[in-house]
Structure 1
Amino acid sequence: MAVNEGAAARVRHAMVDAPGSLGARMRARRWELVEQSFPDLATMSVLDLGGTVESWRRAPVRPKDVTVLNLFEPGESDDASLLPVTGDACRAREALAAAGAPTSYDVVFSNSLLEHVGGHAQRVALAAEVHALAPRFWVQTPYRYFPVEPHWLFPGLQFLPMAARARLAARWPLAHSRPESRSAAMSEVQWTELVGVAELRAYFPGARVHHERVAGVTKSLVAVGGGAS
């Protein structure tokens, strides 16, 4: 598949990252919903599972303090109210305790992590950590049945056989990043498993499930627990 890498990057930027893009508009609406769900957020301590320090620096909302737990690169911070911790979100309490960080918060926040933790058993473990760490939570994940797979921006990729997904992931120019090899592409698609409403409700029983929509079609789901109605 011959591609112009620069042109593909510009297309993805225009669709996802640029000011005024669909992605930017959805992120703005998502932050508005966070504020509506937790109107006292400025007085709350937040644990972000799977996020980055930089995303909170750019956020239009600022809790009292934020701890960011990420398996690979939470980022760096010299701000006492923004604490990065490296660790596994599915064993969050253990990782936080080992780092000397708090193990109790007002809100657990997780954005686009649930689909990447490695299958049902790991999603159950992640949900258990969310419930144990705070009385309130916000867990967002892309919706399995949206027509365009959001990580690769390829229509219906999530429904293809694994081998076909890996071949496309290795070559599709609109992916967030191009894998270095076919085996790396296979690993990426194996680590990306989108879920539907039934699964999300099973992991977070009693939560309100908010549908983020594009042109009336659900693109992402958010499970909100303990927030304002």
Structure 2
Amino acid sequence: MRNLVAGTSSSSLAGRARARRWNLFLRTFPDLERLKVVDLGGTPQFWSASPIRPRSLTVVNLATSNSPATDWVEVVTGDACKAAELGLQNDYDLVFSNSTIEHVGGHDRCLAFAETVKTLGSRHWIQTPYRYFPIEPHFVFPGLQFLPIALRQHVAARWPLSYTKSMGGNLDDPLDAVLWTELLSRTHMKYYFPASEIVSERFAGLTKSLIAVRR
């Protein structure tokens, strides 16, 4: 599982879209400041953008965090698809995830990720970019998700807007970046979260991302 969310300026198009998402999230969970939250695949830095912070936050990510310890954030290095290995209790008020499930690696791993979500808490917000939005969001390239793997690799290595380049990242292995990114459809999300409401996040009238919500 990878955490592949590119940073953007708050004045950019992507930055404004994320601000709208925060607003939607806070309207959905207006009691956030009273909640104990676990974020699967996130980072403490991501939550620094939130206008309201939760009562406590546990962040689970495969990558080791360099963030300094705080009194309200616990960082767990681990695989969110393997709930039993995380050592976390089923006592979270809200399970949160932003743009992670599409990076976990295949149908069986998505099922395991969804099972972790259901294991850790009864309420959740699980966001993922929509497969059929015309612009692939990680590489900012039209229809990249529908191209053969070899062509996706070619674009990832050369397209100047690819997420790894925007982050100053290393594209020595663009094929690896491509293979770790598999966008999901509404049918996928409904299958993985059958008891959830699947909310559409729209841009220019088109569904840009999907959010599995259980209130």
TM norm structure 2: 0.91
Q: 1:31-180 maps to which residues of 2 (within 5 A)? A: 31-95=22-86, 97=87, 102-178=89-165, 179-180=170-171
| 1:183-225 deviation line (CA, Å, top 9, x unaligned) | x111111110001101100000121111111110111110101
The 2-side partners of 1:40 and 1:198 are apart by 30
Contact 1:93–1:133 (Cα < 8 Å) also in 2: no
More helix by percentage: 1
Residues 1:50 and 1:172: Cα distance change in structure 2 (over 3 Å): same
The 2-side partners of 1:75 and 1:137 are apart by 26
Shift of 1:180: 3.5
Shift of 1:175: 0.9
The residue number in structure 1 matching 2:10 is 19
Would you say 1:222 and 2:208 are equivalent positions? no
2:194 to 195, 205, 208: 205
Q: Which amino acid aligns with 2:42?
A: G
Q: Which amino acid aligns with 2:139?
A: W
Contact 2:83–2:119 (Cα < 8 Å) also in 1: no
Contact 2:32–2:55 (Cα < 8 Å) also in 1: yes
Q: CA RMSD in A?
A: 1.6
Contact 1:68–1:74 (Cα < 8 Å) also in 2: no
Q: Gaps (5+ residues) in structure 2?
A: 1-5
Contact 2:44–2:59 (Cα < 8 Å) also in 1: yes
Q: Secondary structure at the match of 1:58?
A: coil
1:187 to 173, 176, 187: 176
Q: Secondary structure at the match of 1:89?
A: coil
Q: Which amino acid aligns with 1:92?
A: A
The residue number in structure 2 matching 1:9 is none
Task: Point out the more displaced range, 140-149 or 57-66.
Answer: 57-66
The 2-side partners of 1:66 and 1:197 are apart by 28
The 2-side partners of 1:156 and 1:49 are apart by 27
TM norm structure 1: 0.85
Q: Secondary structure at the match of 2:45?
A: helix
| 1:152-186 deviation line (CA, Å, top 9, x unaligned) | 000010000001101110111111214432xx111
Shift of 1:19: 2.5
Contact 2:89–2:120 (Cα < 8 Å) also in 1: no
The 2-side partners of 1:177 and 1:115 are apart by 16
The residue number in structure 1 matching 2:3 is none
Total equivalences in the alignment: 206
The 1-side partners of 2:104 and 2:132 are apart by 19
Find the structure with the greater CA-based Rg.
1
Q: Gaps (5+ residues) in structure 1?
A: 1-12
Contact 1:93–1:103 (Cα < 8 Å) also in 2: no
